[in-house]
Chain A
Amino acid sequence: MKRSKLEVIYDILKIIRKHNNSIKPTPLLRYSNLSSNSFAEYLKDLLEKELIKEINDKKGRKHITLTDKGFRYLEKYKVILGFIDEFEL
C-alpha cells in the first residue's frame, strides 16, 4: 500500500532520530525505501519546511539532522493523523 506523504515524512524523520540524529544522505535513502527521485524531492521539501538541516562534519561530509521542528513533528505525528481522521480532512 502506498504511504501517504505525512507517513513518508514521519518515516524519514524517525530514521534520522534513530541514528542519533545524524545520518548521511546515502544510508538515509536506503532506509527510507524511496526511489532516488522521490527521496531528492522529499529531502528538498523537508529542508524547505525546516524539519531537517544539513551539516558538514570536519571532513566536509554532509550529514542530515533533525531541527526542533522535526522533533516536534515526530512528537505530534499521531495527533496530526488523529485530527485529520476526526475531522475527515
Chain B
Amino acid sequence: MPPSLPNFLQPEELIYTLVILTLCLIIYFKTKELYELSEHEGIRFFRYTFLLFGLSYVFRFVLHIIMITFFSNGFYLPRNFVGPISIVPVSYLSTLALFFLVYSLIWRKIEKRKFLIFSNSIALVFSLVAFLTRSNQIISVLQVSLIVFIIIVLLLKKKFSQTKLLYLLIVIFWVINLLLLGPKRMLAPEIDIFLKIISIGLFSIICLKVIKWVK
C-alpha cells in the first residue's frame, strides 16, 4: 500500500494553500515589469496586496496545522510558540493586504506616508490582539470592520464594476477562510471544499486578467 499523508497534514488544505500561493506569486511576478517601467503607485500596492495575501495563506496553513494538532492530540501550545509562527503573521500580513488593496484604488487621494503609518499601526494592534487572544475568530471579526471600510471605499468610486466585485469577494472569502480555521466541527466537508473552490476561482480570475495584459 502506498504511504499516505498523516491526517493532521490535511492534504486538501496543503494543496489549497499551494494553489493560492502560486496564483498570488504569478500575479506578483508577472506585474514586475509593468511596475518597474511605470513606478505607478497603484500597480505597486496591487502587487504588494497579492504578495501579502499569498503569505497570509501560507501562515494560515501553519496556524491550521497547529490548531488541528492541538485539537486532535490535546497538546498544550504555549502562546510564545503559537503567536510568532502563525497567528501574529496571519493577522499582520492579511490586515496589511486588505489595507494595501484599498490604497491601490485610492492612492491619488491619500498621502502615502500617513497611510503607511496608519495601516501598519492597525495591523500591529490586530497582531497584538491575535497574540493575546490566540483567536482567529476575533481577528476575523476585526477584519470584518475593514471590509465595511473597503465596501465604503468601493462605493465611493463612481461605478461598481466586475473588478471591484472580485476584490470584495476575495477579501470576504479571506475572512471566511480565517474564521473557519481549525477542526471545522460545525462545517460539512462539502461546504468547506466548495468555499475553497470559490476562493481559488476568484484568485484565478484575477490571475488570468493579469496574464491577459502582460503576456
* Majority secondary structure of chain B interface residues (helix, strand, loop or mixed): helix
Residue contact A86 to B38, C-beta cutoff 8 Å: no
Given contacts A83-B214, A88-B161, A89-B46, contact A73 B37 (CB under 8 A): yes
A-B pairs under 8 A by CB, number: 51
Residue of A nearest to B104 (CB): A89
CB distance from A51 to the nearest CB of B (A): 8
Residue contact A86 to B37, C-beta cutoff 8 Å: no
Residue contact A89 to B37, C-beta cutoff 8 Å: no
Is B190 an interface residue when CB atoms closer than 8 A count as contact?
no
Residue contact A87 to B214, C-beta cutoff 8 Å: no
Given contacts A83-B43, A83-B214, contact A76 B34 (CB under 8 A): yes
Q: How many residues of B contact A (CB 8 A)?
A: 23
Is A84 an interface residue when CB atoms closer than 8 A count as contact?
yes
CB distance from A46 to the nearest CB of B (A): 11
Given contacts A76-B33, A82-B213, contact A87 B40 (CB under 8 A): no
Residue contact A88 to B37, C-beta cutoff 8 Å: no
From 40 to 89 in chain A, residues with beta carbon under 8 angstroms from any chain B beta carbon are 49, 69, 72-73, 76, 79-80, 82-84, 86-89
Inter-chain CA distance A86–B211, complex, in Å, is 12
Is A6 an interface residue when CB atoms closer than 8 A count as contact?
yes
Q: How many residues of A contact B (CB 8 A)?
A: 15
Given contacts A76-B33, A76-B34, contact A86 B43 (CB under 8 A): no
A-B contact pairs, 30 of them (CB 8 A): A6-B38, A6-B40, A49-B39, A69-B36, A69-B37, A72-B33, A72-B37, A76-B37, A79-B34, A79-B213, A79-B214, A80-B34, A80-B40, A80-B43, A83-B31, A83-B34, A83-B213, A84-B42, A86-B163, A86-B209, A87-B163, A87-B209, A88-B105, A88-B161, A88-B163, A89-B42, A89-B43, A89-B46, A89-B105, A89-B107
Q: Which 8 A-B pairs have CB atoms at the shortest separation, nearest pair first?
A: A89-B42, A83-B213, A73-B37, A80-B38, A89-B104, A80-B34, A88-B163, A89-B46
Q: B residues within 8 Å of A by Cβ? A: 31, 33-34, 36-40, 42-43, 45-46, 104-105, 107, 157, 161, 163-164, 209-210, 213-214
Q: A residues within 8 Å of B by Cβ? A: 6, 49, 69, 72-73, 76, 79-80, 82-84, 86-89
